[in-house]
C-alpha cells in the first residue's frame, strides 16, 4: 500500500510523479474510477469530510453522505461520462455528524480508446460563504417582516429561531425587554426555552438581579459568562445550568437613542466565549432588534394618536350639517371641541351655499363634478376627505360623511351628515409611511451592500486560492523536490538558491494570510462605545515585555485617555503602532516609547505613539500606509508591510 492507503496499481503512471505535490495541496483533490470508487484522495479532501485518507480509500464516491444532494451528485457523475466538466455545490455530512458546504469541480478522464476511466476533482470549503449568504437572506426576510404587519414579539421570536438555526454551535436564544416600573425583564421572545425559564423570578429580576441579563441592561455593556459551572458565577447562573443545561451565557444590551431597551441573550449548550464570527452574527441580530423596536414604538405612537382622535369624536368634537334638495346648507353646527372654518364663512356664513361654493374649501372641479353626480343619485357617502382653512388660517384635512333624506313618497329632500378634523391622523399616517419607506430603503441598501461585499470577497478568495496559492505550491514543491532528489548534483550556490526560493514562497504565503486578515477587518461591523486607551496600551506593552524579556525599554503611558470607538479595532490600531515602536527601537541605546494625547482648542483630541528608534526618509512617507510597502530591509527589521495598512 502507498502512504495514502492506495495500492500502486490503483494509480495512473503519470499520477505518481505528482503525488507529493498533490498531498501538500490546500485544495481537496481526489480521483474516482468509472464505477465511482475513490482511487486517490489527498489529506485536504479527507479533512473536509473529517476522515483519514485510509478511511476514504476504496470507498464509493456516493457513500460520502450527500444527503438530499445525492440524486444531483449521481446526475453530475452521469454527465461526466458524457464528457462534461462542471462545478457543483453540495451540503455533506462529516464523520462527526456536522454538515459542511463544499464546492466540487470535476473533469472526466478518458482512455486512449475513448473509454470512460473516471474523473478527477477539486473540493473547496465554502461553508463560510454559504453561511454569510444564509444570514444575509434571513436579514432581508426579517426586515421585510418588520416593514410588514408582524408584531414585535413575532419578529423577535423569528429572530431567535434564525440565530438558533444558523449558529455553528448548539444554543438557545431569548430577547428580554426592560420593565423598570416593575423591576423585571419581560421575556418577550424565547421560542425554544421552557415556560419555567420565562417564569423564573431570579432570572427576570432587574435591579438587584445577579444574572448576566440584568447586569447587561444595568451597565449597557455586554456581559459574557463563558462557563456557568465556574466557582465564581452567581448562584442564579449555577441554578440555570442545573435546570436548563446551559454551558455559557452571552448577554448583549439592546440600545436605542441612548436608552437600554432590553437584552439579547444567547445560551450556548457548551462552554466558551464568542469568537469574531459569533460577534458578527450578534451585531446583525442587534441591528434587526433595534429596527423592530423602533418600528414598534412608531406603531404604538400611531395607535395612541388614533385613540386620541377617537376619544375626541366620542366627546362630540365633530360638526353636523344639513342640506336641502338643491344641496345648499340649511344648518351647520360645531361641537365644543371642533375648529371652526375661517370667518365669515363659518356657521351662518355657510348657510344657503353649496359645499363647492365655499371659498375656504379646496378641491378640483373634477372632484366636485363626481360629488355632484353622487348627490343627484341620492347615494350615501362616507369619509370624503377635503382641505379647508380654519379660523387660524391653518390648512386642515377634514372628513365628511352624509346620508340622503327622503320623504314618504321617496323624493330626495336633501342630506344630513357629520364632519371631523383628521389632520393629526393624516400626519401620523404620513410619518408611518415615511418610516416604512425608510425601512424598505434600508433593506434595499443593505441588500446591495451585502451582495457587493460577498461578490468582492468571493472574487478575492478565488484569486488567493487559485491564482496565488497554486503557483506558489508548485514552485515550493518543485524546489523542495530538487533539493531532495538532486542535492548531490548541485554546488553550494545552487542549493542556496533553491533554499532562497523556498523561503521566498513561504514568505509569500505569509503575506497572503496577512491579506486575508486585513480583508476580515474591513468586513467587521463597528460597535461604538467608550474605550480606555490607556489601559489597552499598558496591556499591549505588558504582552511585548513578556514576549521579549531581554529588552529594557522605558515606556510612558499617559493616564485616563478615553475615546469613543470600537474596542476591538482600536486595540488592533494600538497593537500595530506599539509593536512597530518596540521593533524599531531594538537598536537604540536606551529605548524609549511614549503613548499620549494632545488636546487642541475646539478640536478632537489627537493620540500619538512616539519613540526614539530608527527613522525613515521623509521623501517616502506617503508609502507608509500602503499595503506591502516597507521602508526598511527585511534583514534589518522583519515585517510584511501590512501593519500600518491595517491601522489606516
Q: pLDDT tens digits, residue range 59-80?
A: 888 887 777 788 888 888 888 8
DSSP 300-322: HHHHHHHHHHHHHHHTT-SEEEE
> Which of the four pLDDT bands, split at 50, 70 and 90, describes residue 3?
very low
Could you tell me the sign of the dihedral formed by the alpha carbons of 515, 516, 517, 522, in that order? positive
In the numeric block, the cell 425583564 is attached to 185
From CA 120, how far away is CA 105, in angstroms rounded? Answer: 8
Ramachandran angles phi, psi of 394, nearest 5°? -80, 145
The cell for 186 is: 419581560
Distance CA 477, CA 333 (A): 97
Most confident stretch, 162-166, 344-348, 425-429, 629-633: 425-429
Q: Which CATH architecture has domain 8-125?
A: 2-Layer Sandwich (3.30)
Segment 33-47, tens digit of pLDDT: 988 898 888 888 888
Q: Are 122 and 105 in contact (CB under 8 A)?
A: yes
Task: Choose the weakest-confidence range: 154-163, 191-200, 451-460, 538-547.
Answer: 451-460
CA angle, 472 then 473 then 474, to 5°: 90
Query: Are 520 and 505 contacting, i.e. CB atoms less than 8 angstroms apart?
Result: no
Mean pLDDT check: name the lowest of 83-87, 399-403, 523-527: 523-527
Angle at 304 between CA 301 and CA 308, to 5 degrees: 140
pLDDT of residue 625: 57
Distance of CA 305 to the CA centre of its chain: 34
pLDDT tens track for 196-224: 887 777 777 777 777 888 888 889 999 99
Lowest-confidence range among 287-301, 467-481, 518-532? Answer: 518-532
pLDDT, residue 70, reads: 85
Look at residue 5 in the predicted model and tell me its pLDDT.
44
Q: What is the pLDDT, as a whole number, of residue 17? A: 56
Among 438, 398, 143, CA closest to 290: 143
Domain boundaries, given as residue ranges, for the chain = 8-125, 131-297, 313-421, 428-523, 529-615
How many angstroms separate the CA atoms of 301 and 283, rounded?
A: 27
- Kindly state the percentage of the chain with pLDDT values over 90: 8
Burial 124-158 (b: 16+ CB within 10 A, else e): bbbbebbbbbebbebbeebbebbbeebebeebbbb
For the cut 70, the answer to whether the pLDDT of residue 463 exceeds it is no
- Separation CA 28–CA 125 (nearest Å): 9
The model's pLDDT over 331-375, given as tens digits with 9 standing for 90+, comes to 887 765 555 554 444 555 678 888 888 877 878 888 889 999 999
Q: For residue 273, count other CB atoms closer than 10 A to its CB.
A: 12
Whether the predicted model's global pTM rises above the 0.95 cut: no
Contacts for 90-98: CB closer than 8 Å, 24+ residues apart: 90/66, 91/67, 92/48, 92/49, 92/64, 92/65, 92/66, 92/67, 93/65, 93/67, 94/48, 94/49, 94/50, 94/51, 94/65, 95/49, 95/50, 95/51, 95/55, 96/50, 98/50
- Residue 585: the pLDDT is 82
Q: How many CA atoms lie within 13 A of 144 on its CB side?
A: 8
Please give the Cα distance from 251 to 282 (Å, whole number): 10
**377-392 per-position pLDDT tens digit:** 999 998 888 887 776 7
Fold match between domain 8-125 and domain 529-615: no
pLDDT number for residue 404: 92
Residue 405: Cβ-neighbour burial (10 angstroms; 0-12, 13-18, 19+): middle
Q: Are 366 and 372 in contact (CB under 8 A)?
A: no
Packed helices 423-462 and 127-147: angle between N→C axes, nearest 10 degrees: 170
CA atoms lying within 13 Å on the CB side of residue 200? 18
Q: Which residues contact 387 (CB under 8 A, 6 or more apart)?
A: 361, 362, 363, 395, 396, 397, 398
Q: Residue range 477-504: average pLDDT?
A: 80
Range picked from 250-254, 295-299, 617-621 for highest mean pLDDT: 250-254
Please say if the pLDDT value at position 581 is more than 70. yes
Contacts of residue 341, defined as CB under 8 A and 6 or more positions apart, other chains included, come to 349, 350, 358, 360, 388, 389, 390, 391
The pLDDT value recorded for residue 307 is: 66
Indicate the SS3 state at residue 287.
Answer: helix
Q: How far apart are CA 393 and CA 388, in angstroms?
A: 9
d(C-alpha 224, C-alpha 216), whole Å:
9
Instruction: Please state whether the peptide bond connecting residue 336 to the residue before it is cis, i.e. omega within 30 degrees of 0.
Output: no
Query: Pick the residue with more confidence: 309 or 249?
Result: 249
> Per CATH, which fold does 313-421 belong to?
Beta-Lactamase (3.30.450)
Mean pLDDT of the chain: 79
What DSSP character marks residue 354?
A: B
Please, are residues 350 and 324 in contact by the beta-carbon 8 Å criterion? Answer: no
Architecture (CATH level 2) of domain 131-297: 2-Layer Sandwich (3.30)
**pLDDT for 344:** 41
The three-class DSSP label of residue 111 is coil
Per the listing, cell 388660517 goes with 393
Higher pLDDT, 131 or 175: 175
Residue among 363, 360, 401, 406 nearest 384 (CA) = 401
CATH class of the domain comprising 529-615? alpha beta
Show the cell assigned to 167: 449558529
Amino acid at each position: 500500500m502507498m502512504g495514502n492507503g492506495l495500492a500502486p496499481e490503483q494509480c495512473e503512471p503519470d499520477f505518481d510523479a505528482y503525488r507529493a505535490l498533490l498531498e501538500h495541496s490546500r485544495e481537496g483533490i481526489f480521483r474516482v474510477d468509472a464505477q465511482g470508487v475513490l482511487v486517490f484522495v489527498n489529506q485536504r479532501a479527507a479533512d473536509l469530510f473529517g476522515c483519514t485518507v485510509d478511511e476514504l480509500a476504496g470507498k464509493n464516491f456516493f457513500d460520502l453522505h450527500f444527503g438530499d444532494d445525492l440524486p444531483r451528485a449521481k446526475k453530475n457523475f452521469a454527465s461526466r461520462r458524457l464528457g462534461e466538466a462542471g462545478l457543483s455545490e453540495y451540503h455533506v455530512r462529516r464523520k462527526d455528524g456536522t454538515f459542511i458546504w463544499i464546492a466540487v469541480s470535476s473533469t472526466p478522464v478518458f482512455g486512449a480508446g475513448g473509454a470512460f476511466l473516471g474523473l478527477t476533482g477539486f473540493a473547496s470549503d465554502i461553508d463560510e460563504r454559504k453561511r454569510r449568504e444564509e444570514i444575509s437572506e434571513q436579514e432581508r426576510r426579517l426586515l421585510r417582516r418588520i416593514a410588514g404587519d408582524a408584531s414585535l414579539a413575532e419578529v423577535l421570536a423569528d429572530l431567535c429561531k434564525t440565530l438558533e438555526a444558523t449558529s455553528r454551535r448548539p444554543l438557545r436564544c431569548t430577547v428580554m425587554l426592560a420593565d423598570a416600573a416593575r423591576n423585571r425583564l419581560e421575556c418577550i421572545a424565547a421560542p425554544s426555552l421552557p415556560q419555567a425559564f420565562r417564569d423564573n423570578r431570579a432570572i427576570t429580576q432587574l435591579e438587584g438581579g445577579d444574572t448576566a441579563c440584568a447586569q447587561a441592561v444595568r451597565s449597557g455593556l455586554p456581559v459574557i459568562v463563558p462557563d456557568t459551572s465556574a466557582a465564581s458565577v452567581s448562584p442564579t447562573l449555577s441554578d440555570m445550568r442545573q435546570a436548563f443545561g446551559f454551558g455559557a451565557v452571552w448577554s448583549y444590551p439592546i440600545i436605542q437613542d441612548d436608552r437600554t431597551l432590553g437584552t439579547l441573550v444567547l445560551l450556548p449548550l457548551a462552554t466558551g466565549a464568542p469568537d469574531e464570527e459569533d460577534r458578527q452574527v450578534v451585531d446583525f441580530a442587534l441591528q434587526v432588534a433595534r429596527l423592530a423596536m423602533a418600528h414598534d414604538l412608531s406603531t404604538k405612537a400611531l395607535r395612541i394618536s388614533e385613540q386620541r382622535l377617537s376619544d375626541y369624536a366620542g366627546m362630540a368634537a365633530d360638526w353636523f350639517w344639513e342640506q336641502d334638495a338643491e344641496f345648499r346648507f340649511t344648518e351647520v353646527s360645531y361641537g365644543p371641541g371642533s375648529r371652526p372654518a375661517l370667518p365669515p364663512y363659518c356657521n351662518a356664513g355657510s348657510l344657503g351655499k353649496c359645499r363647492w361654493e365655499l371659498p375656504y374649501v379646496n378641491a378640483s372641479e373634477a372632484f366636485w363634478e363626481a360629488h355632484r353626480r353622487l348627490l343627484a343619485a341620492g347615494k350615501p357617502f362616507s369619509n370624503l376627505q377635503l382641505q379647508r382653512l380654519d379660523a387660524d388660517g391653518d390648512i386642515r384635512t377634514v372628513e365628511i360623511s352624509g346620508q340622503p333624506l327622503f320623504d314618504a313618497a321617496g323624493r330626495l329632500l336633501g342630506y344630513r351628515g357629520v364632519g371631523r378634523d383628521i389632520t393629526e391622523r393624516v400626519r401620523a399616517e404620513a410619518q408611518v409611511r415615511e418610516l416604512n419607506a425608510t425601512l424598505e430603503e434600508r433593506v434595499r441598501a443593505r441588500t446591495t451592500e451585502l451582495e457587493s461585499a460577498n461578490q468582492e470577497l468571493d472574487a478575492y478568495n478565488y484569486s488567493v486560492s487559485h491564482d496565488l496559492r497554486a503557483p506558489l505550491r508548485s514552485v515550493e514543491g518543485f524546489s523542495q523536490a530538487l533539493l531532495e532528489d538532486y542535492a548531490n548534483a548541485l554546488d553550494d550556490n545552487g542549493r542556496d538558491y533553491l533554499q532562497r526560493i523556498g523561503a521566498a514562497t513561504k514568505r509569500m504565503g505569509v503575506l497572503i494570510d496577512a491579506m486575508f486578515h486585513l480583508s476580515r477587518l474591513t468586513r467587521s461591523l463597528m460597535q461604538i462605545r467608550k474605550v480606555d486607551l490607556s489601559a489597552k496600551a499598558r496591556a499591549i506593552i505588558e504582552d511585548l515585555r513578556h514576549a521579549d524579556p531581554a529588552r529594557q525599554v522605558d515606556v510612558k503611558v499617559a493616564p485616563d485617555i478615553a475615546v469613543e470607538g470600537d474596542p476591538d479595532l482600536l486595540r488592533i490600531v494600538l497593537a500595530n503602532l506599539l509593536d512597530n515602536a518596540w521593533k524599531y527601537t531594538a537598536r537604540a541605546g536606551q529605548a524609549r516609547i511614549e503613548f499620549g494625547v494632545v488636546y487642541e482648542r475646539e478640536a478632537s483630541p489627537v493620540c500619538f505613539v512616539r519613540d526614539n528608534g530608527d527613522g525613515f526618509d521623509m521623501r517616502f512617507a506617503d508609502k507608509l500606509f500602503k499595503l506591502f510597502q516597507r521602508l526598511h530591509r527585511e534583514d534589518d527589521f522583519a515585517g510584511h508591510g501590512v501593519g500600518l495598512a491595517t491601522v489606516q
